[in-house]
Structure 1
């Protein structure tokens, strides 16, 4: 005789989801810190797309804080180091209209920003149209010439993130 046990119940949970290695999880996103090769901004965009994501779009201070802390504490990139040595491309650009910064994958204008204030960033005018986290600027944002070679951070949605029903 076969016995069938059925447990019924519904639990609604909020969770961040999971990420495939070597992506790291924070909130409802996964991040891939690419440090083994440096690319120009366009190539970084293409690489992130090929990997199933997009060049990171920093939308909150919490997300910004996580990325900076990960670079400093997990990747051991010292803030204030050599120019460009530990800098990361992010998905922001003003290449369509000078001074109108937006996230490439969503075309949404920046709401949250963390530009480096000591040099009045962004300050590159029509020559610097791509945003990066500058390790030499303590990981504040900086505009740079898009052909520069930097590390980059890809972002994707966490697997199974958001609200879930279990049971």
Structure 2
């Protein structure tokens, strides 16, 4: 049996190794890096319009979402040690988007499954904080109140190796990205003409395109091995004037498709520009999401070993 001293050494070593995988100033679990921001969340207009979202995205992350008891317990211990004698809560990425007590993380599609709500907190609202008054359990807050709170940024990490299938190799890029650059990010040349900027997410190859049921089934199996926090994964499919195309060639999406039933390409949506994501909760079927949302990306490149 290990002595307490041995356990302490092992714990320190594990945390030290994990810390080395995060940027300076961040702390780590097996799946994520976390940063407690000294800035305020600065609420603007509705649950999603916080400076915090932009600040975390600038750091290639998102406002923290808590998906397990293990992660929640880690954050509670960390906040207790990091924040001394504070009565102010810390803002999380959970929101009741429609005001009907249906909570979701960072977008309405990411439903809250695990929860740690405080008993009878005496507060209400559409935003979520971890409150020191309740041992950093969760409380609903008026979004106006959360603008003066600190917030937690989270960077997700994937450990899944690349796998190859019929001439292509697939890699899950776990750092979150937009699916594509939209007109909001237009640049201009010397003549003042609009030019869409280069936007290369995948370090090699391109964002994946799916052209057959066989390929789709392989990708489903591949993604089923990913970490639980991977809820949506971008492919290269995008909508242009209600016609679906693939980013790498602008070819039309024809033949095989695997839409979630309500997300047929004629489905009315509230965002202007849609891109194709694969949804874990729908057995990795295709889902039409806002291209500006940030999720992990499925990259595809030629399998050079297959050509030899």
1:39 corresponds in structure 2 to: 41
SS for the counterpart of 1:31 is: strand
SS for the counterpart of 1:118 is: coil
**Count of matched residue pairs:** 137
In the TM superposition, 1:146-161 aligns within 5 A as 146-148=143-145, 149-158=148-157, 161=158
Deviations 1:56-107 (A, max 9, x none): 000000000001101112x1434xx53x2xx211110012242000111472
Displacement after TM superposition at 1:110 (Å): 0.9
1:8 corresponds in structure 2 to: none
CA distance in 2, matches of 1:55, 1:115: 18
Q: Is the 1:56–1:90 Cα contact (8 Å) retained in structure 2?
A: yes
Larger Rg: 2
SS for the counterpart of 2:112 is: coil
Q: Of 83, 96, 101, which residue of structure 2 is paired with 1:94? A: 96
Q: Of 53, 57, 66, which residue of structure 1 is paired with 2:65? A: 57
Q: Of 29, 32, 41, which residue of structure 1 is paired with 2:32? A: 29
- Report the CA distance shift for 1:32/1:116 in structure 2 as closer, same or farther (over 3 A): same
- Report the CA distance shift for 1:139/1:99 in structure 2 as closer, same or farther (over 3 A): same
Structure with bigger RCO (C-alpha 8 Å, 6+ apart): 1
Unaligned 5+ runs, structure 2: 1-16, 44-49, 163-308
Deviations 1:107-143 (A, max 9, x none): 22111000001337xx51xxx1110101122101011
2:22 paired with 1:19: yes
CA distance in 2, matches of 1:98, 1:111: 16
CA distance in 2, matches of 1:137, 1:43: 26
2:78 corresponds in structure 1 to: 70
CA distance in 2, matches of 1:132, 1:39: 11
**What's the TM-score once normalised by structure 1's chain length?**
0.72
SS for the counterpart of 2:120 is: helix
Displacement after TM superposition at 1:164 (Å): 5.0
CA distance in 1, matches of 2:109, 2:160: 26
Report the aligned-residue RMSD: 2.4
Q: Is the 1:44–1:89 Cα contact (8 Å) retained in structure 2?
A: no
2:119 corresponds in structure 1 to: 117
**What's the TM-score once normalised by structure 2's chain length?**
0.41
Which portions of structure 1, spanning 4 or more consecutive aligned residues, are displaced by more than 4 angstroms?
Answer: none
